[in-house]
Structure 1
Amino acid sequence: LSLSSCTSLEMFHLCVSFTKHPANQTVSQGNAARLGCAVQGLTEPDIVWMKDGEKLYSTDQMFITLGEQHWETYHSVKSVQQQDAGQYWCEVEFHDLIFSSERAWITVEGVPHFVQECQDVSTFPNVPFNLTCAAVGPPEPVEVLWWLGGVQEGEPRPSPSILHVQGVNNSVKFYCEAKNNRGISVSRTGTVHIKVLPAAPVRLQVMMTDNNVTLSWKPGFSGYSELSTCNVQLSRRLVRRWDLPYQRVQVPPHLQVLPGLRSHSNYSARVSCVNEVGASPFCPWLNFQTPESVPSVAPRNLTFELSEHQLALNWAGLQEEELQGRLLAYKVQWTLGGEPQEPLLFKENSAQLSGGGRFFNTSFQVSACTSVGCGPWSSPVLVLPASGVQVQVQRSHMWVGLLLGLLVAIVVGLLLTAVAHRRDKETQFGFAFKPPGAESSVSFTAARSFNRNCAELQDSTLDSLGINEDLKNKLQDVLIPERLITLGHMLGKGEFGSVREAFLKKEDSTVLKVAVKVLKSDITSSGDIEQCLKEAAYMKDFHHPNVIQLIGVSLHRRPVQRLPIPMVVLPFMKHGDLHTFLLLSRLGERPFSLLRFMLDISRGMEYLSSRSIIHRDLAARNCMLNENMTVCVADFGLSKKIYSGDYYRQGSVSKLPVKWIALESLADNVYTTQSDVWAFGVTMWEVLTRGQTPYPGVENSEVYEYLIKGERLKKPPDCREDIYEVMHSCWSPVPKCRPSFQQLVAQLEVLCLGPAPPPKEALLYVNLEGEGGSAPWQQRAEDEEKDWLMVGSEVALAIGGDYRYIGGPCEAPEGGATDAEDDVVINV
């Protein structure tokens, strides 16, 4: 609407207008910015600030009364960074109409920031290639200076800049500097790699099931070139080794199902992988034996010899390939007078049974058995003396006639019974003796019961909540009618509300046991409901075994309230939350793997970070254990989707889990995937201490000062050194020096599947995107070397600023990680 829309509200005798609008501001990076807005014509209006079309949520927003129905509010940023630049305005809603103020821009001036950093390059020797680097202000212009192998390449040139390199013979480091009149920023350090042959695959292993054999392996060093295929060579060992043809496999995934293998046979396998340069050496042969199976055929040529005192049975033994395993015994099954007798077992392919006369008219079958089971039965053989065969044929014809006659009698009897039953039913319900007249009977089934003394509540819909259209559309297809949910006892209670056991009636009338997260009952605004349902919207698209999945959303209608209570329906987790399980595990003796718990959490967080989700509340209490003892990351109440960049700045002071929060988040409320990595390190510590509270003896209010002095959580008792090294790397004071979740998954997989790895080499070159290595603040003084990146560079002039926003080596500045701001408030 226009700035002053009175005509559309004449029926209310009101006039809504903005008396103050936000103004354009140009602010230097690190300084404060403040935008103001005032509206007249409403009593206690809900004024909302907008940035680039998105609502800015804040629970500490203040309103100042300027007069009757005249209100003013402000939006403040304490320390402006590049991500705060954008278009701002304020809105107020009245009777489904939106009134907007004028729009203003915040422009941030500071050192250049990179929009395209240096990326690693893989190339063949002496082949030309290009390097690209781009940075922007304001202020403009921005110039780029290239450094290749510690040597300056040419003069500064305007951004964006492309450096053409004629070719190199060896691996070389490079980076670029971006400079404007505010200072210098340094990009991450890239590496030019020379493509070589890949290394042989590692960790070749065989997985066997009842139906097939699967070969899997891990790729070795890729040679700085993507692997395209792998060659699988298979050999069968009989009297001599018999090599089978190569199988070419497209990768990834790095596995191959091996069809057509014979059961209980000896095989060998090895693998070689191929990149642009060529094929790697083969890995060592892996010897394995396929599992046993039941014999594939029945014993042949079953014959008998009958005498007065003995019955001799003989049959042909099976070949090794027909047995498909190690022969345990031959099983002989026999029937006398139509009655099955106790089976007999024989080691050899013959049997001698005493008392030949007692086996007249006896049927015999034989089957071969391995440890897996018995194979097919041979055709039955009937034991008769030579003179009795003709008599047996005649008796067989007689029995066939008797059986056919009995079958006809049974069918006729069943038909007569069905007709009599139908006639009796019609008489009982009045169909056979229907009275004359045009009156017709009506039958019905009661679908629902109701109470005449109480008005029945209708199912709530998302339209009644007043939430935005995007959120409503995301949740529409997972909305579950309230009548299908039966709430049970409470499983847990917190500040947001409670979690209750429940039973969900599905479309096929089956009942599913679920957990229902119910928002507290004193909610009064659509904003509270919208915040709750945003968690469900995040979970709707999650599909990963280590991330809890949404079943649906339901709305509990309240008789005297305008808004229903949201209920988020989740899978029922048999073993509850991980923290409680760890505490109880101190008393029990049930075996389980703490490393497996940590690996499950890292895999779930890797999936979330790949989908640009910042959790912000990762801890053992927010991880759940299902019936298979698999950990699922849960509780996304504080989660945020990153729509641009890699940060999220909390816009309000709220109650936060201080002992799990990263150093930079405590300082200025900036949250990134790297701050989730910090929380993961604390969660690892929780797991290894069986649920102990972090920083024992340190109060919440003392945590920031404790960390700023360089202190960290101590190594838990009985914790392996290599596991603590992974944990400690998550707590680097420089966020981008922490490992990514992808790297953490790889490291924990190695720790789970093998012995402790050998010590790593000293980390000589570290940058904002460092990969692996020990924590730089742990290095000994004698290991420290002057970083060649600093030689001849003007970056030393910039290091005096905020280390989090100006690139450089991964080491904390002198005097601690960062200075604490006086106006940072954390509720504990």
Structure 2
Amino acid sequence: MVRLGCAIEGLMSEPDIIWMKDGEKLYSTDQMYITLEAQHWETFYSVRNVQQQDAGKYWCEVELHGKAMSSEPAWITVEGVPHFVLEPQDVATLPGVSFNLTCAAVGPPEPVEVLWWLGGTQVGDYTPSPSVLHVPGVNGSIKVYCEARNDRGLSVSRTGTVHIKVVPGAPRDVQVVQVLENNITLNWSPGFTGHSDLQNCTIQMSKMSKTSGRKMPLPERLVTVPPFQVEIGGLQCFSNYSVRIRCANDVGNSPFSSWVNFQTLESAPLAAPKNLTFDLSEQQLTLTWAGLEVEDLGGKLLAYKMQWSLGGERQDAMLFVENKAQLSGGGRFFNATFQVAACTVVGCGPWSLPVLVMPASALDGQTQRGHMWVGLLLGLLVAIMVGLLLTVLVHRRGKETQFGSVFKPPGNESTVTFTAARSFNRQRAELPESTLDSLGINDDLKTKLRDVLIPERLLTLGHMLGKGEFGSVREAYLKMEDSSVQKVAVKVLKTDISTSSDIEQCLKEAAYMKDFHHPNVIQLIGVSLHRRLHQRLPVPMVILPFMKHGDLHTFLLMSRLGDDPFTLSLQTLIQFMLDVARGMEYLSSKNIIHRDLAARNCMLNENMTVCVADFGLSKKIYSGDYYRQGSVSKLPVKWIALESLADNVYTTQSDVWAFGVTMWEVMALGQTPYPGVENSEIYEYLIKGERLKKPPDCRDDIYEIMHSCWSPVPKCRPSFQQLIEQLENLWVGLSPAPAKEPQLYVNLEGDDLDVAMEQATGGASSGPEAGCSWGAPWQCVGMEEEEKDWLMVSSGAALAIGGDYRYIIGPRCSLDEEARPLDGLSEDIREEDDDVVINV
């Protein structure tokens, strides 16, 4: 073990002393900060078990007036066998091409020498580190490693492999993961890469002709990889295609994969039926029209829809399987207007031109009358032209004329108007369906959300359920694949978003929820994108199950403050806590840190089951067991653990702290934690050892569970699995808890602690033989001595800081009723709320 220390004095205010190692700030709980006296502070940094990676240069820094003031440096050096800083790596090369390998190792002690082994054979002799081996070329795979030695001994590096580059293997798992009317998304996995990075892939496609039934090759597409996914557009709806892929590295092309067949989705017909004609008699009206070409149909013909109007009033539409309609009672269709459209399962296409039904005699009469009117109009036109010519000749010098009386026809003008009952235009400017590619988010997030994207047209938004700083939650109805309708809740980001980063932050929450499958964790239904007119970016919408009873915090408040208060049994409250603990245990098993656990972020479904929700601050941890908040953001300080407030470090144990606060909210029926304490005062309140007080009517055993979640040492807090077991026992039993043992508040240090405890127990042993265990508060079983030191502060330092650094020292078993009194200390004992305080 190594302990480093530095001190500073003379400053007017308490400084922020930072430990540095090799130019980087140290983030560790193995640091202690002590105020010795006014304007004098000291800090220590401990390395409990020095390893090779602990070697380096250490110093302290204090920022003063914008400048960093540094202490004298100290070095930790670790002597031993050589430590490799650069080992032989795997190499891929063409046959006979030379290449270099590098191996480097360091002490102390120095010097360090390196020896190479190639294919099991020693190459040369020891050379100083670092060493470069030049290989003139190989024709097959071979193994290589190096040895390093110094005065302490010998180390052997990892074994690298020299691969020979070859042609890659055929791609695998070629899948059409998304099919739309005119485009698809193609996904595949690379085969054997040939020990060389793949550069591009060639996609070959062919289309099955609907008329001849033969495959027609389409132009090849060359795509850069990775990613091994591409969206192919410009396809024809309701058509059969085949696709295969090959990939290339710097050696050559792979073989093609097997053909994969797919069919694009249907669409509404693209054109209107043509040549609509009728044959009218007194008994029957027959309408015929030309059927659509296969290319214009857009899918499988479902029926022809006919609409007609009579006297300006729309009549009931009719459906016909064939391109012919026979309607009885032809006389009733005089002066009726007909239109027809083709329909597929997706919808109906544009309407044909309207046709007016009239008897043939009427049509002949109209033709004759038309000829007569044409003759009259021509004669009138000639007379007008002659009159105009004479007028110009007589009044050629005049500038004022009375042409108005000449052109004004006798009587009132007749105007012809009509009103379109319904119009259909396939070319109208509709907002296109938004895709994930239009958001500008990163490819990993797009891949995670692609299979949960729901078209906006399937959503019908209802009234607002709630509104917050980043958006709103609305009630909605979602049309399912079987045409049923499901009631859902939709989280809608504010419409004033302007950047892709805002959208990406919102959709990350959905990405976390995508893989959640647990009854106590809210399940993601999907993600939809609302396209806005004249806006580049759509508004993301996260679709969640509808929670009938809303959030847990509001439900608890309504139980005592609502218009119709109701009583919640203790068993129900414990069940709420159990549901939250089970959901959080599931999240921790998925390496998810919630960071915002509170009653307001837990939802109640129709079965009164609590689901953990609102993962806006959640983080996925891929390595290690902690997450460090990088930037300042709005955080719920009254639910945040002590170490998170101090260092912005978040772990599963900090979620346990928040769970304890949530338990307090449940037992307090929705009260705000730390009543009377401001957010800015929380850290000082907790660092003094203060915690949330026991809620009214809360049993001691329940309060002890939540109190255990607030240990200042994160690893001393219970796990969620342990919390589940404790709460299950309470839920099953619900029997009165035994009276709580008195607690002793002692301000002791060092060896005096054992003496005082021996006096307090009348000389009784405190070891396992006596059946009792005494220790600091929240102290874990099996803690090492250095970890215990973290909890204890010397009495001199405590007085200098001026804070209340009393720590609970109490028995962890029930003492015999015949135990002797605390002789010699009784005169200094005073009782406060069942706690015994000993002033020593």
Under a length normalisation based on structure 2, what TM-score does the superposition of the two structures give? 0.47
Question: Structure with the greater relative contact order (CA < 8 A, sep ≥ 6): 1 or 2?
Answer: 1
Which has more radius of gyration? 2
Under a length normalisation based on structure 1, what TM-score does the superposition of the two structures give? 0.48
